[in-house]
Copies of this chain bind each other. A is one copy, B any other.
Amino acid sequence: RETYRGLSPAEFFYRNKEIAGFSNPARALYQTIRELVENALDATELHGILPDIKIFVDVVDPGKNIVKVRVEDNGIGVPKEEVPKVFGMVFYGSKYKIRQSRGVFGLGVKMAVLYAQITTGKPVYVKSSTIDSKEIYEFEVMIDVINNRPIVLSHRSYRKDNQWHGTVVELTIEGNWSYAKKRIEEYIKRTALITPYANIYFKGPDIELAFTRATRRIPKPPREGLPHPKGVDIEMLKQMIAMTEENLSLRDFLIKYFDGVGKISAETFLKWAGFNPEQSIKTLTLEQLDELARKMREYSGWKRPKDISLSPLGEELLRRGIEEVLKPEFIATVTRKPSSYIGNPFVVETAIAWGGKIPPSEKPILYRFANKIPLLYDEGADVTRKIVDSIDWSVYKVKFPAPLLVVVHICSTKIPFKGVGKEAIAEVPELEEEIEAALRECARKLRMYITKKEKELELALK
């Protein structure tokens, strides 16, 4: 009497779009812009290209809240044969790897395409060309929601007679510009703060923002890494063994497929774990796989995860970005050494800015960033806010109200986001320790500055 059915991923997110941040026309406009901007910045910066990003928002029908959003970048472009799926298939992308990037789910732009399709019936317009392509191509794509497949409404290509490479994405959605304007402006400003090597131009219905790059120095792009033994599980082992054609020995399997495992460490571990290093991986039983995964997680002798897969901003760029956008009286910055949780490497960078254009407030203003994405919502559910509030700032000579702004940037190959809308970060103990340690390092520098200013004031008063 019950009827049973399945849903495609596209249909699931069509029915539950608020879970991805598309809950109302104001929030949806914000989310559409950020999904496109984050894709544009990944397409440039992950490949060592200085980003030139342009964002255009036009209200095409004020009575119906119809808004056109267009984002242009000078990135690596989307290969022609990949355009339909990249824009028209949920859970499809190029960021399913062990490498720091803004995108992680293979869902973002599809949510925006879906939202446009739902609210205006219009396809996404894409124009792109890769660096080595001889042509420029244009597509109009919609999503076949029932089947989670792209529908190409139109496409054309023509010879490229210049060196252009990059992507243009244009969407027409129901969006509430006046309600969303403040947050969008804040998002653009904070993006400029965390990417001081990017040119970012934003043209909205009643506002124009232009951030010229403060430096041509760009962080070293992250490189794809291998999984770390600390993060292994039995399902992962099964899949990896099924995917290897060769019947490797346990030792060679560990060396080849895991981060930072050499011949000596593999053999030391296997002897400790009670395994024969020569055993062929295809002969492992389920019980042995379970035991192997468990022992790999438990072993404390592994090298810490490499950080080649990370790309922190670094203290100098963090300082430049904050100076450009906030012009404070004082800045303290800290970029911590890499740490890790369950085999996922991460770096915490923090800054404290004081005075200048920062308005006084009753508790520290907090700017949160994850993999260079500004997080503006759900602050109350974010681990970083919890830590900032748990610090007794009077120890550092801060009396509220104070012109105190705290910047926290977490880089990782796996940011523990609480939801697919990427707004709040979960409480991971290793992360909490690092955030607090970094903040206190900055706070001590602030205290030295406040002490110095107090002394100068005393001298001036004599």
Residues of B within 8 A of A19 (CB): 417-420
**Interchain CB contact under 8 A, B92 and A4:** yes
Q: In residues 274-322 of chain A, which contact B (Cβ within 8 Å)?
A: 286, 289-290, 294
Counting chain B CB atoms within 10 Å of each CB, which of A93, A118, A235 scores highest? A235
Residues of B within 8 A of A85 (CB): 4, 6
A30 to chain B, nearest CB (A): 15
Residues of B within 8 A of A23 (CB): 416, 426
Counting chain B CB atoms within 10 Å of each CB, which of A7, A106, A119 scores highest? A7
Q: In residues 1-38 of chain A, which contact B (Cβ within 8 Å)?
A: 1-9, 12, 14-16, 18-19, 23
**Interchain CB contact under 8 A, A419 and B419:** yes
> Is the C-beta of A179 less than 8 angstroms from some C-beta in chain B?
no
**Interchain CB contact under 8 A, B12 and A426:** no
**Interchain CB contact under 8 A, A145 and B5:** no
Given A19-B419, A416-B18, A417-B19 in contact, is the A1-B235 Cβ separation under 8 Å? no
> In the complex, A1→B450 CA distance in Å?
50
Residues of B within 8 A of A9 (CB): 9, 12, 91
Residues of B within 8 A of A195 (CB): none
Residues of B within 8 A of A5 (CB): 92-94, 96
> In the complex, A259→B456 CA distance in Å?
74
A393-435 CB mask vs B (1 if < 8 Å, else 0) is: 0000000000000000000000011111000101000000000
Return the chain B residue nearest A427 by Cβ.
B23
> Is the C-beta of A49 less than 8 angstroms from some C-beta in chain B?
no
A53-64 CB mask vs B (1 if < 8 Å, else 0) is: 000000000001
Return the chain B residue nearest A24 by Cβ.
B428
> In the complex, A8→B86 CA distance in Å?
15
Residues of B within 8 A of A381 (CB): 378, 380-381, 424
Q: In residues 35-88 of chain A, which contact B (Cβ within 8 Å)?
A: 47, 64, 76, 79, 82, 85-86
Counting chain B CB atoms within 10 Å of each CB, which of A6, A14, A145 scores highest? A6
Residues of B within 8 A of A234 (CB): 117-121
> Is the C-beta of A124 less than 8 angstroms from some C-beta in chain B?
no
Query: Across chains A and B, which 6 residue pairs bring their CB atoms closest together, nearest first?
Result: A2-B94, A381-B381, A6-B92, A121-B234, A7-B91, A419-B419
23 examples of A-B residue contacts, CB within 8 angstroms: A1-B76, A2-B94, A3-B97, A4-B79, A4-B94, A6-B91, A7-B106, A8-B91, A9-B12, A9-B91, A12-B91, A15-B96, A16-B105, A18-B416, A64-B294, A117-B234, A118-B234, A119-B233, A119-B234, A120-B234, A121-B234, A378-B381, A380-B380
- Beyond the given A5-B94, A6-B92, A18-B418, could you list 20 further A-B residue pairs with CB under 8 A, ordered by the A residue number? A4-B86, A4-B93, A5-B93, A6-B85, A6-B91, A6-B106, A7-B96, A8-B91, A9-B12, A16-B105, A16-B420, A19-B417, A19-B418, A117-B234, A117-B235, A121-B235, A121-B289, A121-B290, A145-B235, A378-B381
